[in-house]
Amino acid sequence: MKEIETWQNNNWVPNSQAGISLWDAHSFFGWAVFEALRTYRHKIFLLDEHIARLFKSAELAEIPLADKYTKEEIEHYIIETVHHNREFFPSDEEYRIMVFASPGYFRIYQDVDRGVEANC
């Protein structure tokens, strides 16, 4: 059965399978920034402003978002996520979109998830 999907790490992932590693800075230290967006008449409200704030927040939190993505790419992923999941929402329902960014996986812990002790 098809379900709503999330764009995560450059892949479409069913919401029931989406998640982050325990060793990601987001879960390990709460080191992340986010933006909450919504639509009005199915048009994303203040999209440019939300993206600008996400990038500014990432910069202030020392999260290298701009090293990985452009503002245009993030805009594309947000819009694509709305279109990708449109079939799950009644035509009169508005959308809520959450965008999270973290520094990602800590390299020092790269072997922990694979059951190998990291050499320290």
Domain residues of the chain, as ranges?
A: 5-107
Q: Is the pLDDT of residue 76 over 60?
A: yes
Query: What's the whole-number mean pLDDT along residues 49-59?
Result: 98
Strands 33-40 and 11-14: unpaired
More confident residue, 90 or 56: 56
Name the token pair of 56: 């500014």
pLDDT at residue 41 above 90? no
Q: How far apart are CA 100 and CA 72, in angstroms?
A: 16
What are the percentages of helix, strand and coil residues in the chain, rounded to 5?
40, 20, 40
Mean pLDDT of 6-19: 88
Q: Which fold has domain 5-107?
A: D-amino Acid Aminotransferase; Chain A, domain 1 (3.30.470)
Query: What is the structure's pLDDT at 118?
Result: 39
Quick one: what percent of the chain has pLDDT higher than 90? 55
pTM passes above 0.85: no
Return d(Cα 39, Cα 97) in angstroms, integer: 9
